[in-house]
Structure 1
Amino acid sequence: MNYFAHLHIASITQTSWAGNLLGDFAVDVQSLDADLWEGWNLHQQVDVMVDKHPASLQYRQMPRKGRRRFAGIVQDIVMDYWLIQYWSRFSSTDLEVFCERAVQELAADQARCPKRLQSMIDSLLLNNWLGNLGTLQGVENALHSIMRRWKHGAHLQDFVDELPAVIEQGEAPFLALYPDLLAFVAQTQDNKLTAK
């Protein structure tokens, strides 16, 4: 799951929206405030569950030009695309309202975030592009952003070259995975409350 799904999970679990994004940024975990750590920890659990889910294994093994070992990175972004396509199935909140709330929640914690996440929040404040993650251009922009920052980024070009097909391949895995993920998150939260 990428940014949009982690923000959706933050809204459902009423945990820190910024904290739920911190798993994708370099942080000193020991120095995090309790609410940020809780979100960071939930992000880690979500990523582990998603990586092991049969639908993720299916997506990574589909035939395509891009290297299988990098398909998980692409899958995260494609899952956001499909979450936005099926948004009304998973949320009663209007998409635009959700995107605006996400930016407000992130901005409230911006000062406590690492520099790269602060820059991303600045970008969202300037032009809220969260909803664009549900467009072909938004997916391409997200992949190009990773390609610029990551030393192995050039290996994602094959996925970009076949992007419409790569996105289409993600629909069935998303629909199999996301309800299971939400059930997993609910169980995780129930276990946390029971332990208190």
Structure 2
Amino acid sequence: MNYVAHLHLAKITQTSYAGSLLGDFPWQPDPSAPKLLQGWRLHQAVDTFVDAHTESDRFKSMPRQGRRRFAGIVQDIAMDYWLIRHWADYDAQPFDAFASEAVSALVADKAYCPERLQRMITSLEDYNWLKELGTYEGVERAIHSIQKRWTLGHYLAPFIDELDVLLEQAHVPFNRLYPDVINEAQKRVLEGI
């Protein structure tokens, strides 16, 4: 799951929006910030659950040019794409209203976040690009962004070359996986993560 899914899970579970993103950023868990810590733990639990899910294995093993080892990274972005496209199936609140609410919640906790996440929150304040993750161009930009900041980013190039196929390949796994992710997140929060 990527940004939109983690933010949506924070909404559903009433946990910290900023904490829900911390798993993707270098951050030292801080016991004095329990809500952020809870969100961070939920992010970790969700990522572990998704990585072990049979639908993730199925997606990673589908024929494509990109290496299977890196398919999970692209799967996360593709899952956001399908979540936005199927938003009304998972939330009664319109996506634009959710995106505004999420950015406001992120801004409220921005001072407690690591510098790289603070920069991302600032970019969302300046231009809320969450909805773009539901477009082909937005997915392409997200992959390019990872390529730029990751030393192994060049391995993601084949996924961009076959992005239309990859997005279609992710559709069915998303529909089967996301309801399980929601249930797992709710269960984890009830159990104290």
Using the TM superposition, give the Cα deviation of residue 183 of structure 1 relative to its aligned residue in structure 2, in angstroms: 1.1
Using the TM superposition, give the Cα deviation of residue 30 of structure 1 relative to its aligned residue in structure 2, in angstroms: 4.0
Q: Which runs of 5+ in 1 are unaligned?
A: none
Q: Does 1:7 align with 2:7?
A: yes
1:79-98 to structure 2, matched below 5 A, reads: 79-98=79-98
1:92-111 to structure 2, matched below 5 A, reads: 92-111=92-111
The separation in 2 between residues aligned to 1:170 and 1:91, in whole angstroms, is 20
2:29 maps to a residue whose letter is: V
- The match for 1:54 is 54
- The match for 2:116 is 116
Runs of 4 or more off by more than 2 Å in structure 1?
A: 189-193
1:163-185: per-residue Cα shift (whole Å, max 9, x none)? 01111100000001001111111
CA separation of 1:164 and 1:32: change in aligned 2, threshold 3 A: farther
1:59-78 to structure 2, matched below 5 A, reads: 59-78=59-78
Using the TM superposition, give the Cα deviation of residue 32 of structure 1 relative to its aligned residue in structure 2, in angstroms: 5.7
Using the TM superposition, give the Cα deviation of residue 55 of structure 1 relative to its aligned residue in structure 2, in angstroms: 0.2
Mapped contact 2:42–2:189 kept (Cα < 8 A): no
- The match for 2:17 is 17
Mapped contact 2:84–2:134 kept (Cα < 8 A): yes
1:96-133: per-residue Cα shift (whole Å, max 9, x none)? 00000011000001111101001001110111000110
The separation in 2 between residues aligned to 1:140 and 1:35, in whole angstroms, is 32
1:137-166: per-residue Cα shift (whole Å, max 9, x none)? 000010000000000000000000000111
Using the TM superposition, give the Cα deviation of residue 39 of structure 1 relative to its aligned residue in structure 2, in angstroms: 0.3
- The match for 1:169 is 169
The separation in 2 between residues aligned to 1:189 and 1:33, in whole angstroms, is 17
Secondary structure of 2:47's counterpart equals helix
Over aligned residues, Cα RMSD in angstroms? 1.1
Q: Which runs of 5+ in 2 are unaligned?
A: none
- The match for 2:28 is 28
- The match for 2:154 is 154
1:37-79: per-residue Cα shift (whole Å, max 9, x none)? 0000000000000000000000000000000000000000000
TM-score by length of 2: 0.98
Secondary structure of 2:48's counterpart equals helix
Aligned residues with identical type, % of pairs: 51
Size of the aligned set, in residue pairs, is: 193
Using the TM superposition, give the Cα deviation of residue 188 of structure 1 relative to its aligned residue in structure 2, in angstroms: 1.6
